[in-house]
Amino acid sequence: MSIENPRESSGVTPLSIAVVLATGNRDKVRELQPMLKGISPLLKLFSLADLGLSPEIEESELTLEGNACLKASVVFSLVETRFTWLIVLSDDTGLEVEALDGAPGVRSARFAPVPDGSSPSYEDNVRHLMTLMTDALNRSARFRTVIAMKGRLPSPDGKGKEIDETVEGRIDGRITTTLRGAGGFGYDPVFMPSGLEKTFAEIGLEEKNRISHRALAVIKATERIQSLLDQSGIS
């Protein structure tokens, strides 16, 4: 575990723990920052961009868990020599529709077939889903976000402890018969959470961020990090 120079150059002090988000998306980093700060001032958050990395990781696994763990593992191997203590967080999200045996699931971003093999747009994917669901009576569906956490934390015996686990957030609902609302992204205009008469595209970002699959997964991940730090005796 060599730490001197890289640790200094990354700005992480000996008692710091790097939290590396396996994403280039700075919005996700901005969103997480206050939640992690609340856990411990020892946590220092980095995006891949902050670390000068932009790895191409093919999401080749068959489950959300598999893809989240794959991304966390690849990024962990890229950054682990730069920090003594670190946790890599990686997420994968999918819409799981009962009438379609859980599809689009892990293929949510690339659900609609497109002739030239390029990536389908959100609109392409929603149109494809609605076509498949034309006659479906069972319209139950859920969004699920899995966050994989892979890392190395201090342990009371001084040897360090390997972390390799996942948490998940989910929200149940149903697929509407028509598109509703102009907000959100992806499948939001056709997903109505249970207990609400509005789609994700109609409720506004603030409410969505309180109840969504992603929000619930992030809360669980931060709670888990808190308890891991408590076990390490350093929070």
Name the percent of the chain in helix, strand, coil, to the closest 5. Answer: 40, 25, 35
Taking the complex as a whole, the smallest distance from the CB of residue 129 to ligand IMP amounts, in Å, to 10
Q: Shortest gap between Cβ of 125 and ligand IMP (angstroms)?
A: 6
CB of 110 to ligand IMP, least distance (A): 8
Contacts of 45 (CB under 8 A, 6+ apart): 19, 21, 29, 32, 33, 36
What is the DSSP secondary structure assignment for residue 104, as one 8-state letter? B
- Which two structure tokens, joined as six digits, stand for 81? 């020599």
Nearer to ligand IMP, 2 or 54 (CB): 54
87: which strand partners?
Answer: 19, 151
- Catalytically active residues, by annotation: 92
Coil/strand/helix, residue 70: helix
Q: Does 108 bind ligand IMP (CB under 6 A)?
A: yes
Return the number of the residue (77 or 209) whose C-beta is nearest ligand IMP.
Answer: 209
Residue nearest to ligand IMP (CB): 186
Q: Which of residues 155-194 bind ligand IMP (CB under 6 A)?
A: 184-188
Lookup: tokens for 112: 């609609």
Cα 45 to Cα 210: distance, rounded to the nearest angstrom: 22
User: With respect to ligand IMP, which residue has the nearer C-beta, 57 or 136?
Assistant: 57
Closer to ligand IMP by CB, 28 or 161: give it. 28
Which member of 18, 200, 218, 221 binds ligand IMP (CB under 6 A)? 200
Q: How far is the CB of 48 from ligand IMP (least distance, A)?
A: 14
Nearest distance in Å: CB 90, ligand IMP: 10
Q: Which residues of 81-110 are buried (b: 16+ CB within 10 A; e: fewer)?
A: ebbbbbbbbbbbbbbbbebbebbbbbebeb
Query: Contact, 180 vs 199, CB < 8 A?
Result: yes
For residues 121-150, which are near ligand IMP according to CB under 6 A?
A: 122, 125
- Within residues 206-225, the interface with ligand IMP by CB under 6 A covers 212
Which residues contact ligand IMP (rule: CB under 6 A)?
92-94, 108-109, 122, 125, 184-188, 200, 212
